[in-house]
C-alpha cells in the first residue's frame, strides 16, 4: 500500500519518474485518447466534414466550371479552393481538439489518476499530442479517401498526385496547430485561460501576422531604425527600373506564418501556385536567387518548427508545474 502511495506522489509531484519518457506509455495514452474520440463520434464527425467539403467543392466545380473541366484543370482548381477553406478550418479544428487535452484533465482532477498509472508527465504530453494528431490526421485521410471516387467522377480531370499532396500538407499543417494547442493546454489548469490563449494564437496568425508585411513596409518608407528599405533594379518593358523592398529579415519573419508555409508546401507538392506573395516577391529582388527561407522546401522546416518548439516548451514546463 505504501509503495503505491509513493508511486503516485512521485508521478504527480515532479520526481525523477516524471522526467522519463517511455514509448509504451506514450502509445497507451495516445491510443486511449484516440479511442475516446471514436466513441464520442468526434472522429467520424470530422471525417464526414472533410468528405462533404471535398464533394461539395468538386460538385460546384462540375456544375459551374464547365470551361475549367474542358481544359482539364479541375484538380488544380480543387486544390486551390479546398486549400483556402482548409487553411482556416484545419487550424480551428486542431486548436479546439487540443484545447482541453490537458487543461481539462487538470481542471477536473483526472490528471492525477492518469499520472498514478505508470505514465510520466512527458508521456502524457507527447501521448496527448499523438492522440489528438491521430484524430485529425485519420479523419482527414478517411474523408479524402471516401471522397476520392466521387470527386474523380465530378471532375473532368483528376490528378491523384495533386490530391495526395493536398492531403499530406493538410495533415502536417494540422499537426503543427495541434502541437501548439496541446502545449498551451499543458501550461494552465484552467480551460478558460487555455481557451483564451488559443483564441489569441488564432488571432495572431490570421490577424496580426498577416499585417506584419504592411507594417514593415510603412516603417521602411519612414526610415525607422533598422527598417529602412533596400533598393534593387528590375527589368520592365525593356528598361531597368529602380525599386525598393523591405529588409531581408522582415521577409524571414513574415514567412514564419504556418499558413504561408502551408501554401508554399502545396506549391512544392502540387502543380498549383498558391503563394500569396507570389506576385510581389521574385528572385530579382534578391540579386537573382530567392533566399533559402523563401524557397518552397523551407516551408517544411517552418511547420516542423511549430511542431517541435511548442512541444519542447510544454515538456519542460509541464514537468515542473504543481498539478
pLDDT in tens, 131-187: 999 999 999 999 999 999 888 888 767 889 999 999 999 999 999 999 999 999 999
Residue at 200 is within a domain: no
Question: Cell numbers 507594417 label which residue?
Answer: 215
Percent of the chain with pLDDT over 90: 42
Together in a domain, 238 and 295: yes
| Alpha-helical regions (H) of 155-236 | 160-186, 191-203, 212-221
Structural domain count, the chain = 2
Q: Closest Cα to residue 227, out of 208, 254, 246, 244?
A: 246
Residue at 323 is within a domain: no
Together in a domain, 109 and 249: no
Mean of the pLDDT values across residues 7-22?
A: 52
Together in a domain, 186 and 266: no
Together in a domain, 134 and 217: no
pLDDT of residue 17: 47
Residue at 312 is within a domain: yes
Q: Closest Cα to residue 182, out of 132, 107, 143, 118?
A: 132
Q: Closest Cα to residue 53, out of 27, 87, 23?
A: 87
**pTM, rounded to two decimals:** 0.87
Q: Which residues of 223-234 are buried (b: 16+ CB within 10 A; e: fewer)?
A: eeeebebeeeee
Range of the domain at 175: 2-190+306-318
Which cell is 64 given?
459551374
Together in a domain, 218 and 181: no
Together in a domain, 284 and 310: no
Together in a domain, 149 and 12: yes
- With beta carbons less than 8 A apart as the criterion, state whether 246 and 217 touch: yes
Together in a domain, 44 and 172: yes
* Secondary-structure percent of the chain, ordered helix, strand, coil, rounded to 5: 75, 5, 20
Together in a domain, 104 and 129: yes
Amino acid at each position: 500500500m505504501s509503495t503505491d502511495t509513493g508511486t503516485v506522489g512521485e508521478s504527480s509531484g515532479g520526481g525523477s519518474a516524471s522526467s522519463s519518457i517511455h514509448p509504451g506509455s506514450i502509445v497507451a495514452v495516445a491510443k486511449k485518447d484516440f479511442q475516446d474520440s471514436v466513441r464520442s463520434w468526434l472522429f467520424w464527425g470530422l471525417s464526414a466534414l472533410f468528405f462533404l467539403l471535398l464533394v461539395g467543392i468538386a460538385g460546384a466545380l462540375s456544375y459551374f466550371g464547365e470551361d475549367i473541366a474542358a481544359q482539364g484543370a479541375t484538380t488544380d482548381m480543387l486544390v486551390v479552393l479546398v486549400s483556402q477553406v482548409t487553411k482556416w478550418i484545419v487550424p480551428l479544428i486542431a486548436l479546439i481538439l487540443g484545447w482541453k487535452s490537458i487543461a481539462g484533465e487538470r481542471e477536473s482532477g483526472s490528471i492525477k489518476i492518469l499520472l498514478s498509472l505508470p505514465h510520466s508527465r512527458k508521456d502524457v504530453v507527447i501521448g496527448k499530442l499523438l492522440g489528438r494528431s491521430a484524430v485529425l490526421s485519420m479523419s482527414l485521410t478517411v474523408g479524402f479517401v471516401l471522397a476520392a471516387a466521387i470527386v474523380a467522377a465530378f471532375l473532368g480531370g483528376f490528378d491523384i498526385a495533386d490530391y495526395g499532396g493536398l492531403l499530406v500538407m493538410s495533415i502536417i499543417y494540422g499537426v503543427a496547430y495541434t502541437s501548439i494547442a496541446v502545449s498551451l493546454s499543458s501550461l494552465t489548469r484552467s480551460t478558460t485561460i487555455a481557451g483564451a490563449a488559443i483564441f489569441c494564437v488564432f488571432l495572431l496568425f490570421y490577424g496580426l501576422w498577416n499585417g506584419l508585411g504592411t507594417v514593415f513596409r510603412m516603417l521602411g518608407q519612414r526610415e525607422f531604425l533598422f527598417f529602412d528599405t533596400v533598393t534593387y533594379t528590375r527589368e520592365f518593358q525593356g528598361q531597368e527600373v529602380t525599386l525598393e523592398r523591405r529588409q531581408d529579415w522582415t521577409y524571414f519573419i513574415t514567412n514564419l506564418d504556418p499558413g504561408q508555409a502551408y501554401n508554399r508546401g502545396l506549391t512544392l507538392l502540387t502543380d498549383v501556385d498558391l503563394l500569396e506573395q507570389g506576385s510581389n516577391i521574385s528572385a530579382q529582388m534578391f540579386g537573382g536567387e530567392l533566399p533559402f527561407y523563401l524557397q518552397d522546401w523551407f516551408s517544411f522546416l517552418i511547420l516542423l518548427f511549430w511542431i517541435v518548439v511548442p512541444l519542447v516548451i510544454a515538456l519542460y514546463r509541464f514537468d515542473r508545474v504543481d498539478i
